[in-house]
């Protein structure tokens, strides 16, 4: 994620079942009406009692304890939506394929605001209830055995609502000034428009069929699989087989102008430009050069599709939605570098907890320094200038880069994070630094990892004890002592 320049000064200073039996009429994404019987809650168990447990609400992140759920592991999402920009109404059917990791009598998905009309598990009607702001509690007709694979099908509808973040502003589903809509946000976005296990710890494949009125188009992540038109509506299909965290998925509806091409290795590139975003074409056309540069620094591009979604809205951030970042109207080429560096740091290798966010943002931010260096910048001189500029600022140095506390995730990682990573590079040397970054990606590809794991990795690759250095720069809340502030030849 890259923050709007107007937001940066603030960042510098300173989220069993109750059922109704009966017949419901559900509007499906294909436009048809179908009558579905709302399942009744299972009768109370007689002896012997049902063996199993209720899946947990919350995946264990201390910053966002209600996010995600336990008891299962998602393999893939296949989401079908119909969206009418004129009314703002969305109909959806989400197929969630998963494997039970415990014997379950019920499990949860996360969904905000939208009304659920029916749920099936394994082809049979399931009980369901809403708890709190986001929990959808699902009770299958029969308990799920640990290790078994199952598919939950959730039909839902309503007008998606956005979320408000005190730092980043509006997140999740947003209406665009052109009349369309898009979904983007961190740490929350996906559950404003489809039910999911909303934690970065449970990455899964993602596919989307989006049906919109003719004249509108829908873009998402992954591979473009074509479109079909019928009755004044067009359905667009996108598929991304590689694992993705839910907050890195998206859909964007607008009167897009598409620009298609390919990387030198044949990887397809799809850029989508909203009305009023024509000037961004110059940035989109630089993407092959940007990805080639980043691949040289971090290893092969990790996905089978690339591109960008260029808004004409001046939202407060751009976001590294996987394979196809979303860019605010203010985004420049440096933002394109930043968001695509996230395809390695954040997307291919994803944080385990939000305390680990420096793994995403510190390295994506430093990638813009590396880009500038390739164009002739003297990074050592830039480092010295920044240190002197902020030497007397307690507020600048007090922002921790690891385990900074909820609400502080994005306060220091964009500027202090750049200095810390450059100091690390000077401390261990260019050869070890390059090798540490590339092997970090290759060893954790498609998985999750934590900041403590990264510290151990760098120490192993470099053969150096860096515990005091990491404490001073990443875990500490004061200006590092001179031995860590001026490693290698940085003092000049």
pLDDT per position as a tens digit, 112-150: 999 999 999 999 999 999 999 999 999 999 999 999 999
Model pLDDT, residue 8: 55
CATH code for the domain in which residue 81 is found: 2.60.40.1730
**Residue 94 confidence (pLDDT) above 90:** yes
Strands 135-139 and 72-84, sheet pairing? unpaired
Give the closest residue to 143 by CA, choosing from 72, 76, 60, 58. Answer: 72
- pLDDT tens column, 95-110: 999 999 999 999 999 9
Q: What average pLDDT does this structure show over 169-192?
A: 95
Are 59 and 202 contained in the same domain?
A: yes
What is the per-residue burial (b if ≥16 Cβ within 10 Å, else e) of 303-325? bebbbbbbbbbebbbbbbbbbbb
pTM for the whole thing?
0.90
Q: Report the pLDDT value the prediction gives residue 169, as an integer from 0 to 100.
A: 77
Domains identified in the chain, total number:
3
Query: Closest Cα to residue 380, out of 416, 421, 422?
Result: 422
Q: The domain spanning residue 308 has which CATH number?
A: 3.30.2010.30
Other beta carbons within 10 Å of 486 = 17
Confidence of residue 25 (pLDDT cuts 50, 70, 90): very low
Q: Return the minimum-mean-pLDDT range out of 4-18, 161-175, 256-270, 371-385.
A: 4-18
Q: What is the pLDDT of residue 12?
A: 42
- pLDDT (mean) for 66-76: 97
Cis amide linkage into residue 226, ω under 30° from 0: no
Do residues 176 and 219 both lie within one domain?
yes
The answer as to whether 209 is a domain residue is yes
Q: How far apart are CA 54 and CA 245, in angstroms?
A: 24
Q: Check whether 492 has a pLDDT greater than 90.
A: no
Q: What is the pLDDT of residues 312-345, one digit of tens each?
A: 999 999 999 999 999 999 999 999 999 999 999 9
Whether the pLDDT of residue 461 is over 90: the answer is: yes
> Which residue, of 302, 317, 347, is where some domain finishes?
347
In a domain, 489, yes or no: no
- What residues make up the domain containing 207? 53-254
Residue bearing the bigger pLDDT, 168 or 69: 69
* Cβ 240 vs Cβ 343: under 8 Å: no
Closest CA to 414 of 351, 366, 355: 366
Overall average pLDDT of the 362-387 stretch: 98
The answer to whether residues 300 and 281 touch, using CB atoms and an 8 Å cutoff, is no
- In 10 A of CB 406, how many CB atoms? 14
pLDDT class of 19 with cuts at 50, 70, 90: very low
**Same-domain status, 158 and 293:** no
Q: What is the mean pLDDT of the chain?
A: 91
């Amino acid at each position: 994620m890259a923050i709007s320049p107007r937001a940066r000064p603030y960042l510098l200073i300173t989220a069993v079942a109750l059922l109704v039996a009966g017949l419901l009429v559900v509007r499906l994404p294909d436009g048809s009406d179908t009558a579905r019987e709302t399942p009744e809650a299972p009768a109370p168990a007689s002896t012997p009692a049902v063996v199993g447990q209720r899946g947990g609400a919350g995946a264990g992140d201390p910053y966002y304890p209600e996010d995600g759920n336990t008891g299962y592991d998602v393999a893939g999402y296949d989401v079908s939506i119909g969206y009418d920009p004129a009314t703002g109404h969305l109909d959806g059917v989400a197929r969630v394929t998963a494997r039970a990791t415990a014997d379950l009598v019920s499990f949860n998905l996360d969904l905000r605001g939208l009304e659920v009309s029916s749920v099936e598990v394994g082809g049979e009607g399931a009980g369901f209830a809403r708890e709190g702001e986001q929990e959808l509690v699902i009770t299958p007709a029969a308990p799920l055995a640990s290790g078994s694979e199952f598919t939950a099908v959730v039909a839902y509808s309503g007008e998606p609502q956005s979320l408000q973040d005190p730092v980043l502003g509006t997140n999740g589903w947003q209406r665009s000034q052109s009349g369309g809509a898009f979904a983007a946000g961190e740490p929350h976005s996906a559950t404003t428009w489809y039910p999911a296990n909303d934690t970065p710890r449970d990455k899964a494949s993602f596919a989307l069929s989006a049906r919109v009125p003719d004249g509108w188009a829908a873009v998402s992540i992954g591979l473009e699989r074509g479109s079909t038109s019928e009755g004044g509506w067009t359905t667009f299909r996108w598929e991304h087989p590689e694992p993705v965290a839910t907050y890195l998925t998206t859909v964007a509806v607008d009167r897009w102008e598409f620009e298609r091409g390919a990387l030198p290795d044949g990887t397809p590139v799809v850029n989508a430009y909203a009305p009023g975003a024509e000037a961004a074409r110059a940035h989109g056309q630089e993407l092959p050069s940007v990805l080639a540069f980043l691949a040289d620094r971090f290893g092969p591009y990790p996905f089978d599709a690339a591109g960008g979604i260029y808004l004409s809205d001046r939202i407060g951030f751009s976001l590294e939605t996987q394979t196809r970042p979303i860019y605010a109207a203010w985004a420049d080429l440096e933002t394109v570098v930043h968001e695509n560096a996230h395809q390695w740091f954040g997307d291919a290798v994803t944080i385990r907890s939000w305390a680990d966010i420096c793994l995403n943002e510190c390295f994506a931010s430093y990638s813009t320094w590396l880009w500038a260096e390739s164009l002739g910048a003297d990074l050592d001189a830039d480092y010295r200038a920044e240190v002197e500029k902020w030497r007397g600022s307690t507020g600048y140095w007090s922002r921790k880069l690891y385990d900074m506390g909820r609400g502080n995730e994005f306060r220091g990682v964009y500027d202090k994070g750049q200095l810390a990573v450059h100091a690390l590079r000077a401390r261990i040397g260019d050869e070890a630094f390059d090798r540490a970054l590339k092997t970090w990606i290759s060893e954790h590809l498609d998985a999750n990892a934590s900041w403590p794991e990264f510290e151990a990795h760098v120490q192993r690759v470099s053969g150096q004890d860096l515990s005091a250095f990491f404490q001073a720069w990443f875990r500490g809340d004061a200006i590092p002592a001179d031995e860590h502030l001026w490693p290698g030849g940085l003092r000049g």
